[in-house]
Amino acid sequence: MANVNPGMDPEIFEQFLEQLRRYVRERLIPAEDDVIANDRIPDDILDEMREMGLFGITIPEEYGGAGMNISQYITTVMHMAYASPAYRSTVSINIGMTGSAIKNHGTPEQKAEWLPRIASGEIACFGLTEPGSGSDSAAMQTTAVRDGNGYRLNGTKRYITNSPSARIGLIMARTSKEALPKNAHVSAFIVDMSTPGITVGKPDKKMGQSGAHIADVIMEDVHIPGSALVGGEEGRGFQIAMQSLDNGRLSVAGMGVGMGRRALDTAIRYANERKAFGEPIANFQLIQAMLADSEADLYAAECMVADACARADRGENIQRKAAAAKLFSSEACGRVVDRCVQVFGGAGYLAEYPAERFFRDARILRIYEGTSQIMQLQIAKHLLREFASEGTVW
């Protein structure tokens, strides 16, 4: 099957990656203490990220982006995730969820209006989860009722990444009471977050990922124009959300690889520096076993992510593959950061060493964009459906 999304020129992409690697190591990692101390990314770094085009890497060139395909996008995520997860978190909604939804489903007018703003670095959020509908996203209660030529939004979204600083929101809401045909009660809307009636709650305190903010978004009689309806058609919101989540899940899978690589490199460095019984602990076979198992986990995750991305770039349906890649990579990263703490020993439990931060930062990977349990259910559902129709899944 021909590649339907060639993306950025490979040579230019490699040059970009080399620049990004240096930027991550020379600028982003040294600024991590500042990010953690102030629970925010410094404004000058955000401006630098905008100048590098990081907020628009997947946006088509005609709208001010770089036009990367999914494989290039997720490779970029892996390299960004080598530094504090706040950096990836800030740009990922723009390029992987809100931006992709508008790019793939928006009208020509919506693309022309919103994609250049997203590519320029206006921060976006993605409003799907609610207090009573997390994994069961079809049970959402936010409503969009017709009001003249537009709609009136009412409801609350929860755990919305970037919402405290977002200027653009992609909001899912019910446009009908009944879910028939299946999930046709959900529609997607592009919302200017400064619209009267929108209130963003205080950022939630979290276990980890300092500098990456989540908060509630409360909508009370928020009037939006009819042109806000993504694609100009009601009832497509659930489909749009699920396709965007495929991108989000690949991003989390790539993030697991990047975070895991940072933890493994840190463990290897410490194992070479820390001495016990008169020699570096890297010489001890049980330490080596933990390092080797971590490399095997990350290599497997890299291969799964690369395969899922290549399939997506060929235009294949990747729901099962994206779920499998996200499940394995997030769980593998959890194992790697746990081994990193173990290699550090008692020091791994102290906040002055990075191992305990890696452990806390990685825990959310098994929860957001679909929990590991939801991923298992998604994979099994697709396996059983494919077997019923084809008699085989391979």
Which residues lie below 8 Å from residue 159, measured CB to CB, with a gap of 6+?
129, 134, 204, 214, 368
Q: What's phi and psi for 200, nearest 5 deg?
A: -105, 130
Token pair listed for 123: 């921060």
Is 302 catalytic? The answer is no
Q: Give the position of tokens 């508008």.
A: 102
List Cα–Cα distances, 248 to 153, 197, 322, in angstroms: 25, 28, 9
Q: Which residues have C-beta within 8 Å of that of residue 44, sequence separation ≥ 6?
A: none
CB of 75 within 8 A of CB of 88? no
Judged by DSSP in three states, 188 sits in strand
**Are 270 and 344 a contacting pair, CB within 8 Å?**
yes
The residues, ordered by sequence, that sit 6+ positions from 179 with a Cβ below 8 Å of its Cβ are 138, 185
Find the catalytic residue in 11, 109, 369, 390.
369
Q: How far apart are CA 122 and CA 114, in angstroms?
A: 10
CA-to-CA separations, 251 to 21, 34, 185, in angstroms, rounded: 18, 25, 28
The token pair at 358 is 């890696």
Q: What is the Cα–Cα distance from 166 to 121, expressed in whole angstroms? A: 10
Tokens (6 digits) for 254: 């790539």
Beta bridge partner(s), residue 145: 152
CA 362, CA 367: separation in Å to the nearest integer? 10
Q: Which of 41, 64, 63 is nearest to 51 (CA)?
A: 64
- Report DSSP state, residue 130: B
> Which of 334, 317, 183 minimizes the C-alpha distance to 257?
334
**Which of 122, 207, 137 minimizes the C-alpha distance to 171?**
137
Active site residues: 369
